[in-house]
């Protein structure tokens, strides 16, 4: 299943990129619904500084920032610094999880943000795929609004 979300953020691409690759910026986008931990031993990373194609370890997803409910076995498969990253991972709940985020500068100084999420739930969740698609679509819409509000 594939979900896509796009929006425009009223800030230059360099500022937006710095925010979307920083763990605090990522967690701010997801709040209050959830947060994501940094894999053990990787506390000082940003997406910009990881080794492409090498697994980083488990990043725990916490409901409301408190209750662990899933993990992302995180790998950044592709990286174009300042423009794009493509995460290819597995999760406790997902056999396949891909998140590709692309930024595009506009002449007026704003930045286009595009997310493409590809997922394949593990067997027990397969019947819930349409529900998961709606929830994930809404969640990434929330992330885009939070990101835009940050630069608002």
Task: Indicate whether 55 belongs to any domain.
Answer: no
Task: Indicate whether 43 belongs to any domain.
Answer: no
Task: Indicate whether 61 belongs to any domain.
Answer: no
Percent of the chain predicted with pLDDT > 70: 99
Task: Indicate whether 54 belongs to any domain.
Answer: no
Does 43 score more than 80 pLDDT?
A: no
Task: Indicate whether 40 belongs to any domain.
Answer: no
Domain count, the chain: 1
Task: Indicate whether 42 belongs to any domain.
Answer: no
Distant-in-sequence contacts of 66-72, Cβ < 8 A, 24+ apart: 69/34, 72/36, 72/97
Give the three-class secondary structure for 57.
strand
> What b-and-e string marks burial along 21-59, b requiring 16 or more CB atoms within 10 Å of the CB?
bebebbbbbbeeebbbbbbeebeebbbeebeeeeebebb
The token pair that represents 59 in the structure block:
């990043």
Q: What is the pTM of this model?
A: 0.95
85: phi then psi, degrees, rounded to nearest 5 = -135, 155
Domain that holds residue 134: 2-29+75-151
The 10s digit of each residue's pLDDT in 52-69 is: 999 999 999 999 999 999
> Quick one: pLDDT band at residue 23, thresholds 50, 70, 90?
very high
In this structure, what CATH number is given to the domain that contains residue 93?
3.30.530.20
């Amino acid at each position: 299943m594939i979900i896509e979300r796009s929006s425009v953020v009223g800030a230059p691409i360099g500022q937006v990129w710095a925010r979307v690759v920083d763990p605090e910026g990522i967690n701010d986008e997801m709040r209050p619904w959830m947060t994501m931990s940094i894999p053990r031993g990787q506390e000082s990373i940003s997406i910009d500084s990881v080794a492409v194609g090498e697994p980083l370890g488990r990043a725990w997803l916490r409901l409301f920032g408190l209750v662990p409910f899933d993990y992302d076995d995180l790998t950044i498969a592709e990286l174009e610094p300042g423009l794009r990253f493509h995460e290819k991972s597995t999760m406790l709940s997902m056999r396949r999880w891909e998140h590709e985020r692309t930024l595009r500068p506009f002449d007026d100084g704003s930045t286009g943000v595009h997310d493409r999420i590809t997922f394949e739930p593990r067997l027990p969740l397969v019947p819930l795929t349409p529900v998961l698609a709606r929830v994930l679509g809404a969640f990434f819409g929330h992330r885009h609004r939070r990101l835009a509000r940050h630069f608002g």
